[in-house]
């Protein structure tokens, strides 16, 4: 296969970035804008020794699972990778992806996986599910101030204020801000020069409270004409918090290290189940509250708490899972590296009058092993134990030192919540080689229209 070759290919799978994957005489080609089942004519753009990248020229035979994208920018925008695939097929693909990683990376037998895998949890309406969005601002080729989302793998802004995954009120807020910025001749940030005021606008929405937060991320220390801006934004129904965060660094990190209140509160509130949470501009909070409740209820079911258990919740964030667990456990210990998140977790415990949850700042892979060693010293060699340990790590999964400590503490059950089934499979392999048995696995579609999927697993001590 050589560059500029034009070939016919049938798409059989989807890659980690949403590209269709097909083979021509055994040679894999990655083709953007195709879905499983498409037969396409493609042009090879890059040919490596073992695989290549090709550009879609035309669909020769459309997949039976191909649908019309709801958003006209779906192909260009980096937010949705598989909006042109029917939702039923998306769920099938994600479930298959988890199973494939468990078999290929985890080394689990295919029949065993089929026997323990519970049906994927999908959404009734897989659109308008995001409670948070961050919109970059910039200048179009025509010199107009625009906002929207970055095109895939670029920092080129696609002008669009009506994202199909966000709440409809986002459009009203963005149009108001665009009009205001133009009316008062205010500047927007230019990544090339490092000049200009407005970098991003963060919008958060409380699904059960209808409270709205707007946070301006600025390359400066104040916003001109603040009084007029607040006067307009505060009229919107549900507006609860207007803040700004200063970020004057030349970085891809969106938010600054702190924020200041312009109007209203420093936070909005929302619920997951019966637990109430305060969410600040810097809080980590799952972006799909509908599916998050299903995910956490599944984790709680797998934990099988009776009221007498000691539970550790590692990578606890603002205490979302911890407080769920605390309703049925004797005591819960949460660990999170971000100090602000732990402050939020402690505050959320107070709000919900939960007094059996304690939170610690630090890396989970340092805090738990240090606790384990310290406990043995302080208790004449006696081992620290736990009844249940819950982990919800970032994409990189758990470090081996943490997994080792978990197995040494010998909890009856381990509940593993994962946003990356590849690192999940790797970690499950370690746990199952060191005293644990994989009992149940369930995928939860937290991010419809994208290739990402959450998975929750139950392991029990052999």
The residues annotated as belonging to the active site are: 419
> Per-residue b/e over 90-103, b at no fewer than 16 CB within 10 Å?
bbebbbebbbbbbe
CA distance 424 to 396: 9
- 8 Å CB contact between 345 and 272: no
Can you give the three-state secondary structure of 295-363, one letter per residue? HHHHHHHHHCCCCCCEEEEECCCCCHHHHHHHCCCCEEEEEECCHHHHHHHHHHHHHCCCCCEEEEECC
Instruction: Give the residue from 397, 400, 396, 433 showing the smallest Cα distance to 416.
Output: 397
Half-sphere exposure of residue 62: CA atoms within 13 angstroms, side-chain side: 8
Number of C-beta neighbours around residue 82 at 10 A:
22
246: which 2 tokens? 């200063």
CA distance 444 to 353: 29
- 8 Å CB contact between 57 and 6: yes
Number of C-beta neighbours around residue 40 at 10 A:
25
CA distance 243 to 440: 43
DSSP state, residue 435 = T
Number of C-beta neighbours around residue 133 at 10 A:
20
DSSP state, residue 85 = B
Instruction: Give the residue from 93, 95, 99 showing the smallest Cα distance to 81.
Output: 93
201: which 2 tokens? 């606008």
342: which 2 tokens? 């732990």
Pairing of strands 268-272, 212-218: unpaired
The DSSP code sequence of 208-240 is: TT--EEEEEEESSS--TTHHHHHHHHTTSTTEE
List phi, psi (to 5°) of 401: -60, -35
CA distance 199 to 293: 32
Dihedral of CA atoms 22, 152, 444, 346 in degrees, nearest 10, equals: 150
Q: What is the three-class DSSP state of 32?
A: coil
Q: How far is CA 315 from the centre of its chain?
A: 14
């Amino acid at each position: 296969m050589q560059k500029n070759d034009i070939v016919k290919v049938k798409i059989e799978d989807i890659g980690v970035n949403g590209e269709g994957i097909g083979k021509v005489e055994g040679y894999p080609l990655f083709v953007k804008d195709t879905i499983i089942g498409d037969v396409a004519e493609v042009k090879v753009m890059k040919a490596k020794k073992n695989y290549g990248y090709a550009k879609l020229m035309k669909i020769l035979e459309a997949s039976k699972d191909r649908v019309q994208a709801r958003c006209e920018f779906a192909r260009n925008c980096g937010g949705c990778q598989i909006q042109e695939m029917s939702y039923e097929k998306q769920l099938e693909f994600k479930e298959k992806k988890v199973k494939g990683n468990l078999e290929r990376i985890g080394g689990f037998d295919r029949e065993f996986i089929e026997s323990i895998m519970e049906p994927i949890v999908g959404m009734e309406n897989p659109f308008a599910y995001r409670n948070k969005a961050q919109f970059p601002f910039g200048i179009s080729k025509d010199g107009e101030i625009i906002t929207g989302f970055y095109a895939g793998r670029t920092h080129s802004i696609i002008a669009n204020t009506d994202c199909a995954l966000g709440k409809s009120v986002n459009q009203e807020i963005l149009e108001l801000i665009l009009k205001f910025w133009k009316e008062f001749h205010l500047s927007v940030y230019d990544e090339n020069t490092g000049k200009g005021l407005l970098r991003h606008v963060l919008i958060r929405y409380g699904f059960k409270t209808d409270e709205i937060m707007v946070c301006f991320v600025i390359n400066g220390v104040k916003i001109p004409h603040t009084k007029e801006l607040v006067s307009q934004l505060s009229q919107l129904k549900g507006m609860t918090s207007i803040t700004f965060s200063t970020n004057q660094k030349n970085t891809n990190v969106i938010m600054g290290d702190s924020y200041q209140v312009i109007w209203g509160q420093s936070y909005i509130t929302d619920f997951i189940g019966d637990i109430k949470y305060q969410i600040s501009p810097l809080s980590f909070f799952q972006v799909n509250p509908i599916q998050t409740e299903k995910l956490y209820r599944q984790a709680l079911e797998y934990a099988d708490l009776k009221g007498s258990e000691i539970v550790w919740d590692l990578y606890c964030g603002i205490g979302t899972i911890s407080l769920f667990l605390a309703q049925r456990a004797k005591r819960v210990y949460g660990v999170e590296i971000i100090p602000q998140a732990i402050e939020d977790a402690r505050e959320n415990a107070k709000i919900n009058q939960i007094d059996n949850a304690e939170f610690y700042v630090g890396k989970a892979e340092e805090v738990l092993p240090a606790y384990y060693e310290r406990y043995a010293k302080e208790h004449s060699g006696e081992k620290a134990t736990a009844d249940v340990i819950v982990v919800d790590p970032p994409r990189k999964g758990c470090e081996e030192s943490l997994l080792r400590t978990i197995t040494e503490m010998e909890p009856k059950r381990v509940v593993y919540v994962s946003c990356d089934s590849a690192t999940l499979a790797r970690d499950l392999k370690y746990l199952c080689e060191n005293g644990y048995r994989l009992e149940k696995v369930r995928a939860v579609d937290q991010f419809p229209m994208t290739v990402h999927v959450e998975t929750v697993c139950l392991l029990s001590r052999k």
